[in-house]
A and B are shown apart, each in its own frame.
Chain A
Amino acid sequence: GAGVSQSPSNKVTEKGKDVELRCDPISGHTALYWYRQSLGQGLEFLIYFQGNSAPDKSGLPSDRFSAERTGGSVSTLTIQRTQQEDSAVYLCASSLDRGRVKGYTFGSGTRLTVV
């Protein structure tokens, strides 16, 4: 597609439920990133996929968080047993290279609210 697409744009869920957030990167972009944006905290790196390499999961805050990328394209971020502190905007980005030269293209994010 023309840009990075994320769905849903907004998600309200009850504490303890599982949620899945979807990211459709730009066609042909080999690298895909998930970040979490909380008020006043900037962007917190979560996970990074590069081609067929093993993902860099070093930013995932707990084992309740997981992500996969199928066929080198669409990615799903799953949060199990959601807690109120998971409320944030989850941003996905993709890039042609590792993004260090051209930067990333970001989606508009999914705003997650845990009640």
Chain B
Amino acid sequence: AQSVTQLGSHVSVSEGALVLLRCNYSSSVPPYLFWYVQYPNQGLQLLLKYTTGATLVKGINGFEAEFKKSETSFHLTKPSAHMSDAAEYFCAVSDQGSQAGTALIFGKGTTLSVSS
């Protein structure tokens, strides 16, 4: 069975500082990996995804994530935080090869706070 662990339910950074949100997954088959962002009172918005190919993927708003198979990780980073990045971030996993079509499995989320 697949699972996702997001280390740290709450991360606080200063404006301009590096953002690092951690995600580790468990999957018996090659995974598809996603990061979503949720702003207050809104639905989730896709930030970026890894399916196949290049392991460093770039998304919207300057975020990127690197798929590291050996570490079963897909950490989200941004070089310089903006106040507008304050939101909740969710990592999700789906299997690559299943024909059954399972739904995405989400982590419990990490709330990012950005201070001036």
Contact = CB atoms under 8 A, between A and B. Distances in A.
Interface residues of A, number: 27
A103 interface: yes
Interface residues of B, number: 25
Given A4-B43, A91-B43, A108-B42, A42 B108 contact: yes
B94 interface: yes
Contact of A45 (B34, B36, B42, B105): B105
B106 A106 contact: no
Nearest to A46: B103
A99 B43 CA distance: 16
Contacts of A93: 43-44
A102 B44 CA distance: 14
Contacts of A107: 43
Interface string B75-116: 000000000000000100011100001111111110000000
Given A50-B101, A56-B103, A98-B101, A41 B43 contact: no
A103 B106 contact: no
B44 A48 contact: no
Interface in B18-46: 32, 34, 36, 41-46
A12 to B, nearest CB: 16
A109 interface: yes
A6 to B, nearest CB: 8
A45 to B, nearest CB: 5
B109 to A, nearest CB: 5
Contacts of B94: 98-100
Interface of A: 4, 31, 33, 35, 40-43, 45, 48, 50, 56, 59, 91, 93, 98-109
Given A33-B103, A42-B109, 5 more contacts: A99-B94, A103-B49, A106-B44, A106-B45, A108-B41
